[in-house]
Amino acid sequence: AQTVTQSQPEMSVQEAETVTLSCTYDTSESDYYLFWYKQPPSRQMILVIRQEAYKQQNATENRFSVNFQKAAKSFSLKISDSQLGDAAMYFCAYNGGATNKLIFGTGTLLAVQP
Amino acid sequence: NAGVMQNPRHLVRRRGQEARLRCSPMKGHSHVYWYRQLPEEGLKFMVYLQKENIIDESGMPKERFSAEFPKEGPSILRIQQVVRGDSAAYFCASSPGQAPGVYGYTFGSGTRLTVV
């Protein structure tokens, strides 16, 4: 069965600095998708970034980028120039190409210090 | 486009009562997914429905929980005879296609169920 592990329950970063959130996963599939979701206190789940496993190039969305290491089954999220609005819970998620469900990690609570 | 609408946002039920959670998918989305988030945990898949069909209910508890997505109207997640352990946030997501990896999900804001 596929699993997603986020080993950092909490992280803290100074405003304008860079922070990296870790995520590892376990799968025997070769075709899959990986996601990072942000959940602010409003509880809304917001898609931050998406990576297709067959693409070697790391996905980037403005200040958010990933370091996708397929062989190591690692999918970390880098947030550059951190802003106060980035403070939230961040979830890593996996979707196998043949299934309809997302498998989530337990989340990392990010605090941004002014 | 109003996005995925869930109501109520908060629901309080006494033990033994029934809870009904509603989800209206985004316009044009015919695939609905329900997830549960227990305190301090990530979201866990419960069920995947298309109009009038349950496609995958592998994450649903065997008893007391049911879901439907009728031809007309919202998708309903129903919990009968609620217990304290059912207290959680329940999220609905919708998608225009069957493969969330390809089409992506759009999540609602969730319903927080509290059982007292």
pLDDT per residue as tens digits for the range A43-72: 899 999 999 999 889 999 999 999 999 999
Q: DSSP letter for B39, please.
A: T
Q: What is the pLDDT of residue B105?
A: 84
Q: Please name the residue of chain A whose CA is at the shortest distance from the CA of residue B58.
A: A101
pLDDT-based confidence at residue A20 (cuts at 50, 70, 90):
very high
Q: What is the pLDDT of residue A6?
A: 97
User: With 60 as the cut, is the pLDDT of residue B1 above it?
Assistant: no
How far off is chain A from B100, nearest CA to CA, in Å?
A: 6
Q: Please name the residue of chain B whose CA is at the shortest distance from the CA of residue A91.
A: B42
Separation of alpha carbons A103 and B5, rounded Å: 22
Q: Please name the residue of chain A whose CA is at the shortest distance from the CA of residue B56.
A: A100
B interface test, pick of A102, A103, A108, A109 with most B CB neighbours within 10 Å: A102
- Smallest CA-to-CA distance from B21 within B38, B37, B9, B32 is with B9
C-beta atoms of A101 and B89 within 8 A: no
Helix (H) or strand (E) segment spanning residue B100: helix B100-103
Q: What is the pLDDT of residue A79?
A: 98
User: With 90 as the cut, is the pLDDT of residue A12 above it?
Assistant: yes
Range from A11-25, A93-107, B39-53, B97-111 carrying the lowest mean pLDDT: B97-111
Measured between alpha carbons, how far is residue B89 from residues A55, B6, B13 in Å? 34, 11, 14
- Percent of the residues in chain A that have a pLDDT greater than 90, as a whole number: 83
